[in-house]
Amino acid sequence: MKRLVEKIEKALMRIVIIGFVLIVIVQGIMTDDPIRLYLSWGERMEGQILEFPVASQNEPVENEPITVNSPQAVLKLSVDQFSSLPRAKVLVNDEERLVFDSREIEVPVMAGDIIEIDCTQYDFPIKFAVKGTSENLSYPEQGKVYTANKSIVMIGKVIVK
């Protein structure tokens, strides 16, 4: 019985070693472009037209309104306790865009913009709120309140529906 197990073990070891050697040889041969064409199905398919539809495209129906999703949106920010804060700056993608020269300001934004408020010039906590957003704006959400205390507060990355 022990002899049979040893023979099977030797045969399996030979198969594994021969398999590894064959894999190395085939991979070495695959470095040559003309031979790779015959060994690789993916290389043979490259550049050929597919016989079946990949994605169906529906024809637009006449008189049906076409909805256009714009990457542009408007964000309305407000200061709760003060009528204006001229040294508080709204940063869009790390660039100064607006200042709080009134209680509420409207910030035009694009999808993917990063909105921050720079209050490093003030030594007291300031609360800012998102008072309104355009219809196509998913984030920042309306009604959210942010507090800055001599710092730059991040509102977040603009997400458009």
Per-residue model confidence (pLDDT) at position 48: 58
Q: What is the pTM of this model?
A: 0.54
Provide the strand spans (E) within 4-151: 72-79, 85-92, 95-100, 104-110, 114-118, 125-133, 137-139, 145-149
Give tens-digit pLDDT for 10-52.
999 999 999 999 999 988 887 877 776 666 666 666 665 555 5
Quote the number of domains for the chain.
2
Q: Which residue range is the domain that position 150 belongs to?
A: 72-160
For 16, phi and psi rounded to 5 degrees? -65, -45
Task: Report the C-alpha gap between 120 and 153 in whole angstroms.
Answer: 10
Q: Is 100 domain-assigned?
A: yes
Q: Is 9 domain-assigned?
A: yes
Q: Is 149 domain-assigned?
A: yes
Give tens-digit pLDDT for 60-74.
555 555 454 667 888
The amino acid occupying position 148 is A
Collapsing DSSP to helix, strand or coil, 24 comes out as helix
Over residues 92-101, the mean pLDDT reads 87
